[in-house]
Each structure stands twice: as C-alpha cells, then as structure tokens.
C-alpha cells in the first residue's frame, strides 16, 4: 500500500512539476505570469491522440510533432498576444488576463475540434499494467517520473549554462540593458513561452494513457502546477519539480490516510502555508519586492 | 497591417471559442419545425403548432449526452408529426442550451415560461439542473418530463413534473440482490460529490448495512479531479468482495480503468448502465465484469439488439445521424416524447392539466427500457429494471451470466468469489 501510494504521488507530482517548470521558465525569462499551461497540456494530449492513435504514427514521432507544434504555438502566442501588450506598456495584470483568455480559447477550440466525450489514449507500451509483488502500476507512470526529472535537469542546465538560457535570464532582469548588449529580447522571451508550451504538451502526452483525454483535463492540474511552482520557489527549475513532487505526495498520502473528501483542501492549505510562512519557496527564490 | 491581421486572428479565435460555448450568456435558442431542422434565432410559433420547450446541456462537459437527448427527442417529434401529431396538431420544439450550468438552466426555464409561453417542457438530463428549475415550471403549470435520474428532485411535490427515465433510487436494492446472489458479504464504494451520485450512494450504503453487507471503505472525489489513485489504492487494499461506484457520466470509465490498472479484477457494480461511450474510454478489457441494474443499455450495432422497439429506434437514429446512440440520454429523449404523445392521446387534449391527469393512466406503454407504467401514482415511468453485466464488450443479462459465465470469471481472475 505504501509503495503504491508513493508511486502514485510521484507520478502526479511529476506532472505538476512539468507544468510548474513551464510557469517558472516564463517567469524566469520574462518576469511574467501565465495561466494557460493547463490548457496547453490538454491540447498536447489531444494532438498526441490524433497523431499516435488516429494517424498511427510511432509514439516518439508523435511526441516530437506535438512538442514542435506546441513550441510554435507558445512562440506565436507570445508574439501575437503578449508582445503587443508589452509594447504598449500594459500593466502586468492585463497580461495575466490575456493568458486566461487564451486558455479559454484553447479549451473551447479543443472542444470544437475533438468534441466533449472523453477519448481513450491507447497504452504506449502495449501493456496496461506492470506487477511487482503486490504493487501494480502502468509503465507510463514510470515514464512520467523519469521524464519529469530529466526535463528539470535539462532546463536547469539550459537556463544556466547555455548562451540562449543566459540571454533569457538577462532579458528578464533588464530588457533594455540586455538589448544594449546585443541580446534579442523579443526572440528570447518568445522562445521561453514556446519551450513552456512544449513542456506542457509533454505532460499531456504522458498522462493521456493514464487518465484519458478530455477538454478539462488540464484545468485542475494547471492550478496545482502553479501551486507547485510557488511551493518550490517561483522561477526555480529544481523548485518546480520538487514542489510538484511534494504536492503530489502530500495530496496522495493525505487522500489515503486522512480522507478523500479533503483532497483539494489539503493541497491548497499547503500552498497557503508556503505563501504565508515561506513565500520564497523551498529553494528560496526571491519572492518579496525589495 | 500586422496589427490588423493579429486582431483578425484573435477575433476569429474568440468567435471559435464562443461557438464552442454554444451561445450567448442569455442562452441560445433553436426553433425546430416538424422536419426537425435546427435554426438559430426567433422562438416564435406559428400558432398552429404545439410548442414544446427542451432545455439541456448542449455545450460543456456533458454536451455529448445532452446533444443525443435533443437529437432523439427531435427524431421522436418527426415520427409523431408523421403520424398526425398531437391530437392533429404538429409539434414544434424550442431548444435551449443550459451549458451544463444550474444558473443557466433556471434562466432558460424562466425564458420558456415567460417569453416562449410553452405549456410543455422536456427537462435536462442533469438532475441538479432539473432540481433547480423544476419548481418554476411546476408553479407555472407547465407539463414537464424531466430526464435526470436522481431520486431527489422527484421527491418534491411537483404534480406537473414527471420522469420518463429510470429513478436511480430503485436500483440500489437490485444491486444488493445481485451481491447477495454471489454470496458477497463486503463491498467498497466510490462516489461523486454531485447530487445524483451522493444521494444514490447514501441510499445504497444504508441498504448494505441493513442487508448485512459490510462497507469496508468509502471514497469520494470532487468534480474536476483527474487523479483517483489514492482512493483506488485504498479500495484495492480494503480487500472487499466487490466495488460499487456511484459516479457521474464520464468519470465512471476513468475510475474503472484506474481500478483495473491498480490490480482490481473483481466485479464493479455501477449505479447506472455502462454505455458504449464509456466502454470506449475504459477499454473493452477493463470494462468486463462491470455490472448494473438499469432499463437501458447501449449497443454497438443494430443487429445485436434483442428488443424490437429498441431495434427500430436505433435504426432510425442511425439513419438520421449516421451513428448508433452512444449514451442512454438518447433513450430518455425518445421515451419522454413517447410519454407526452401517449398522454395527449389518452387526454384527447394538449392542455397541461389534461396531460397531467392522463399521464397517471399510462400503463403498458412499451418504452425503450421496458414497460412504462405511471399508474402507481409516483410520477415515475419505470418500476421494473433489468440487470446486466458487461463481458467482452457485450451486455449480458445478469441471471444468464451468473448461470453460464460466473465459473469462467472465477477461474480467469483466480478469485474465490
């Protein structure tokens, strides 16, 4: 029972972490908040089922296509919606509202294209369950955990050790100074929004076979991904995954040992505790204005 | 130019979004003629037709269910009009989208009463929407056939409101009988926090205690939850003889799938039928050994149907819409219209008071779920409900399955019972 819950908590925690990585990346590179990660995740799952199940493409090819399309979409949203607002010196709150509007458009657009009935995403590995002793779990569950941690390390290296990542961080700290140093701020923020969308799409492809695919799949996960980012330290890549894992474990063990009725209560009380007692999150990311 | 292009794209995307929402905040309406052609716009009647209001979720999470109910009701309207209509008067349907929202249901019910001035209404398949809007229809003297299955709203003193679908409250005792038949002495339950699921589960749990069946675990979920793994782990770990789920719509197959993935291979009793659309989500293998008591089951093909009236309905539905009904909502829509037609024939009038009195006299009407009988006076259509179990994607009659396949189930799963 303990190990079953542990695996479950790690799986859902990894998904929260992947969504949180996107939130953190956008914040780290542009200093902005986005609320569309959950719905981009849903779109990724729908595109995944289309390429993998309906078009019959091999899973790696379908995954690559979905990620590329999502990156292009994220980039286009930054260029078509966010950048024009930034150029008008719009207050940050209006940019947040714009991302909420985009999330509804993505959600309802998906409804229009794929309908409202939940779709069955076939198993990636051809077998639905792996049994180890008394514990049963899906192979996709293990993949969620591995991919979550892999993305975390990759992004942390990308943001801190590569030229583009450094440009992104510089653009977020002082756009004017970054531009005077020859950094293409517009390109680097566009890339960060694109990569965030790509991460969300990966999460969608991973959980599709576990939960099925439907239009509101990303609604709750998106909110909890945001909570994970705050818990880990908003803007910190390690914090995103660790926050996600912590939230996933607390939620899963709390549901099992306390009560399933209070599942969401437990999750959001944890968020409030961090906001009130440790707003910098587990990884001490700067959260209070100096 | 660039800005204009972006604005155009955004406007288009917003229009797409609104189209998916199914209408404006005021509730979109469609007026359909005898031919059943849906068209947006005015809800005016020619004066020579009988206006029937239908309000149901046509967008949002339950749109697939609501749309099938509307389509079947329109199919029935076509059929009735071809046969001469309601006492010689052709029917005309005014359709509103509740968007799956209780507030919107109340709003459109009020619109049907005050603006469209309908005297007959077909209510939504969402019980919470029916519960919230039923009183205003009843108080206005509108003859109403609700399509939700929760026991709660029919417990209200609404003499003008009837139900032409199953009352989920009648199924728990039958499920208890099924459990006892297999010698089960314990069960674990999973229920939703919505009105229909919660009410049915409470009633079921009480019956279990009375029948001496131990409730080893009770788990719940909130609307919008995605991950049920912790609850499922508790249920599997409880060691109960069987599982009972009282959940809403498409949550059922996701829970069934997760139960199977976590290693539970026993019988899962469902508060409602496990329909074709749900089998598609859970997968045929995972859906095997899901059992239920319900007048309605869905079918993959017309050929596999044993009942003549169901065969006829599904063929009509397939001919018109190009597919088999995926949900039992379609059956509810058809049955509601049949009951209305029968009441109008008995009454010899289309006035709501006459229809109300006549409905209590309906008996022996062949509905899609079996004989419809309103004579007990409880305003309910179905009192005798069939029992089924899914086995390899097919709905098998329970008694037959226990006699012929139960031993096979035990050896396939390695279970003692």
Decide if A131 touches B, using CB distance below 8 A.
yes
**B12 has a pLDDT exceeding 60:** no
Identify whether A153 is part of a domain: yes
Identify whether A288 is part of a domain: no
**B134 has a pLDDT exceeding 90:** yes
Burial class for B343, CB neighbours closer than 10 Å (0-12, 13-18, 19+)? buried
Decide if A119 touches B, using CB distance below 8 A.
yes
Residues above pLDDT 70, as percent of chain A = 97
What distance in Å separates residue A277's CA from the closest CA in chain B?
A: 27
Distance CA(A18)–CA(A149), nearest Å, equals: 9
**B63 has a pLDDT exceeding 90:** no
Question: Which residues of B fall within a CB distance of 8 Å from A11?
Answer: 229
Instruction: At B301, list the tokens.
Output: 């093909």
**pLDDT confidence bin for B377, thresholds 50/70/90:** very high
Residue A168, φ and ψ in degrees, nearest 5: -60, -45
Instruction: At B236, list the tokens.
Output: 């599997």
Residue B13's pLDDT is what?
Answer: 46
Contacts across the A-B interface (CB distance below 8 Å):
134
C-alpha R_g of chain A: 19
Residue A244's pLDDT is what?
Answer: 92
> What superfamily does domain B169-294+386-413 belong to in CATH?
Response regulator (3.40.50.2300)
Question: Is A120 in contact with B59 (Cβ distance < 8 A)?
Answer: no
A28-32, A110-114, B71-75, B367-371: lowest mean pLDDT where? A28-32
**pLDDT confidence bin for A287, thresholds 50/70/90:** low
**B1 has a pLDDT exceeding 70:** no
Task: Return the number of other C-beta atoms located less than 10 Å from residue B221's C-beta.
Answer: 26
Decide if A251 touches B, using CB distance below 8 A.
yes
Instruction: At A199, list the tokens.
Output: 């991460």
Which residues are CB-neighbours of B221 under 8 A, at least 6 positions away? A260, A263, B190, B192, B193, B228, B231, B247, B251, B255
Question: Which residues of A fall within a CB distance of 8 Å from B61?
Answer: 116, 214-216
CA atoms within 13 A on the CB side of A268: 7
Q: Are strands B268-270 and B242-246 parallel, antiparallel or unpaired?
A: parallel
**pLDDT confidence bin for B31, thresholds 50/70/90:** low
pTM of the shown model: 0.74
Domain assignments of chain B as residue spans, ordered by start: 25-166+319-373, 169-294+386-413
What distance in Å separates residue B6's CA from the closest CA in chain A?
A: 6
ipTM confidence score: 0.77
Residue B39's pLDDT is what?
Answer: 33
Nearest to A136 among B17, B59, B263 (CB): B263
Residue B37's pLDDT is what?
Answer: 36
Average pLDDT, chain B: 85
- Tens of pLDDT, residue by residue over A62-108, are 999 999 999 999 999 999 998 899 888 888 888 889 999 999 899 88
Give yes or no on whether B25-166+319-373 and B169-294+386-413 have one common fold.
Answer: yes
**pLDDT confidence bin for B98, thresholds 50/70/90:** very high
Q: What is the CATH number of the domain that holds A61?
A: 1.10.3470
Question: Is A216 in contact with B282 (Cβ distance < 8 A)?
Answer: no
Mean pLDDT of all residues in B381-398: 88
What distance in Å separates residue B132's CA from the closest CA in chain A?
A: 24
**B43 has a pLDDT exceeding 70:** no
- Tens of pLDDT, residue by residue over A142-201, are 888 888 888 888 888 887 888 888 887 787 777 778 888 888 888 888 888 999 999 999
**pLDDT confidence bin for B7, thresholds 50/70/90:** very low
Question: Is A108 in contact with B280 (Cβ distance < 8 A)?
Answer: no
| CA proximity to A242, closest of A156, A138, A136 | A156
- Tens of pLDDT, residue by residue over B164-216, are 988 887 888 999 999 999 999 999 999 998 777 888 888 899 999 999 999 99
Decide if B8 touches A, using CB distance below 8 A.
no
- Tens of pLDDT, residue by residue over A18-34, are 899 888 888 877 778 88
Residue A147's pLDDT is what?
Answer: 87
Instruction: At B333, list the tokens.
Output: 């829509």
Identify whether A289 is part of a domain: no
CA quadruple B294, B298, B304, B309: dihedral positive or negative?
positive
Question: Is B16 in contact with A211 (Cβ distance < 8 A)?
Answer: no
For every residue of A135-146, DSSP letters joined together read EEE-HHHHHHHH
Average pLDDT, chain A: 86
A187-201, B2-16, B193-207, B264-278: lowest mean pLDDT where? B2-16
What distance in Å separates residue B96's CA from the closest CA in chain A?
A: 18
Which is higher by pLDDT, B333 or A284? B333
Instruction: At A244, list the tokens.
Output: 């996600």
Question: Which residues of B fall within a CB distance of 8 Å from A105?
Answer: 13-14, 16-17
Instruction: At A81, list the tokens.
Output: 């919606």
**Count of domains forming chain A:** 1
**pLDDT confidence bin for A43, thresholds 50/70/90:** very high
Query: Looking at domain B25-166+319-373, which of 3.40.50.2300, 3.20.20.140, 3.40.50.1820, 3.40.710.10 is its CATH number?
Result: 3.40.50.2300
Those of residues 62-81 in B touching chain A at CB distance below 8 A are 62-64
Mutate to test the interface with B, among A84, A130, A212 (most CBs of B within 10 A): A212
Q: Label residues B33-53 b or e (16+ Cβ within 10 Å = b).
A: bbebeeeeeebeeeeebbbbb
Identify whether A43 is part of a domain: yes
- Which domain covers residue A66, as residue numbers? 2-277
CA atoms within 13 A on the CB side of A187: 9
Identify whether A184 is part of a domain: yes
Mean pLDDT of all residues in B281-305: 88
Q: Does an H or E element contain B291, and which?
A: strand B290-293
Mutate to test the interface with B, among A4, A14, A220 (most CBs of B within 10 A): A4
Decide if B414 touches A, using CB distance below 8 A.
no
- Helix, strand or coil for residue B394? strand
């Amino acid at each position: 029972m303990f190990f079953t819950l542990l695996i479950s908590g790690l799986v859902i925690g990894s998904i929260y972490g992947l969504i949180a990585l996107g939130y953190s990346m956008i914040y780290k590179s542009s200093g902005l908040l986005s609320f569309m990660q959950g719905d981009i995740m849903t779109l990724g799952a729908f595109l995944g089922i289309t390429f993998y199940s309906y078009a019959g493409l091999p899973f790696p090819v379908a995954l690559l296509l979905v990620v590329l399309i999502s990156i292009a979409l994220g980039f286009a949203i930054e260029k078509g919606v966010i950048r024009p607002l930034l150029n008008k010196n719009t207050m940050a709150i209006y940019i947040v509202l714009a991302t909420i509007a985009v999330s509804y458009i993505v959600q309802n657009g998906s409804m229009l294209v794929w309908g409202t009935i939940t779709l069955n995403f076939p198993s990636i590995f051809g077998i639905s369950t792996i049994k180890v002793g008394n514990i049963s779990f899906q192979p996709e569950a293990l993949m969620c955990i591995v991919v979550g941690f892999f993305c975390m390390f990759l992004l942390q290296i990308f943001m801190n050790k590569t030229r583009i990542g450094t440009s992104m961080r510089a653009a977020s700290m002082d756009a004017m100074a970054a531009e005077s140093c020859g950094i293409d701020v517009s390109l680097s923020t566009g890339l960060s929004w694109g990569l965030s969308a790509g991460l969300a799409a990966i999460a969608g492809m991973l959980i599709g076979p576990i939960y099925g695919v439907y239009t509101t799949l990303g609604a709750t996960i998106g909110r909890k991904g945001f909570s994970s980012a705050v818990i880990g330290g908003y803007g910190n890549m390690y914090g995103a995954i660790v926050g996600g894992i912590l939230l996933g474990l607390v939620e899963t063990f709390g549901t099992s040992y306390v009560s399933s009725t209070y599942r969401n209560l437990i999750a959001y009380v944890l968020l409030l505790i961090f906001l009130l007692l440790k707003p910098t999150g587990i990884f001490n990311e700067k959260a209070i204005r100096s | 130019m660039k800005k204009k292009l972006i604005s155009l794209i955004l406007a288009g995307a917003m229009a797409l979004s609104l189209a998916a929402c199914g209408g404006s905040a005021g509730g979109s309406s469609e007026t359909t003629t005898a031919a059943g052609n849906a068209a947006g716009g005015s809800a005016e009647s020619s004066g020579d037709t009988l206006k029937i209001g239908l309000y149901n979720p046509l967008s949002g999470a339950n749109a697939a269910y609501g749309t099938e109910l509307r389509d079947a009701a329109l199919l029935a309207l076509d059929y009735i009009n071809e046969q001469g209509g309601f006492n010689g008067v052709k029917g005309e349907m005014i359709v509103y989208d509740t968007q799956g929202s209780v507030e919107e249901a109340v709003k459109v019910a009020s619109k049907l009463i005050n603006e469209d001035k309908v005297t007959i209404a077909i209510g939504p398949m969402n019980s919470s929407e029916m519960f919230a809007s039923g009183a205003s229809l009843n108080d206005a003297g509108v003859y109403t056939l609700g399509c939700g299955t929760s026991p709660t709203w029919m417990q209200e003193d609404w003499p003008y409101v009837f139900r032409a679908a199953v009352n989920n409250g009648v199924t728990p005792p039958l499920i208890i009988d099924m459990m006892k038949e297999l010698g089960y002495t314990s069960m674990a339950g999973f229920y939703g926090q919505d009105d229909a699921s919660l009410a049915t589960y409470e009633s079921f749990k009480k019956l279990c205690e009375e029948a001496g069946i131990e409730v080893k675990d009770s788990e719940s979920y909130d609307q919008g939850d995605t991950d049920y793994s912790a609850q499922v782990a508790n249920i599997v770990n409880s060691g109960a003889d069987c599982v009972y789920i009282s959940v809403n719509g498409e949550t059922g197959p996701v829970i069934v799938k997760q139960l199977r993935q976590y290693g539970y291979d026993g019988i899962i009793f469902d508060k409602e039928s496990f329909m074709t659309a749900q089998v598609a989500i859970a997968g045929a293998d995972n859906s095997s050994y899901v059992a239920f008591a319900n007048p309605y089951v869905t079918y993959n093909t017309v050929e596999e149907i044993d009942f003549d009236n169901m065969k006829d309905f599904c063929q009509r539905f397939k001919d018109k819409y190009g597919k088999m009904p995926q949900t039992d909502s379609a059956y509810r829509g058809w049955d509601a219209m049949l009951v209305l037609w029968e009441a109008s024939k008995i009454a010899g009038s289309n006035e709501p008071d006459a229809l109300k009195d006549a409905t209590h006299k309906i008996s022996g009407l062949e509905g899609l779920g079996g004989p419809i009988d309103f004579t007990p006076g409880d305003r309910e259509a179905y009192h005798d409900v069939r029992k089924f179990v899914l086995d390899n994607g097919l709905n098998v009659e329970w008694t037959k399955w226990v006699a012929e396949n139960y031993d096979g189930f035990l050896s396939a799963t390695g279970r003692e019972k």
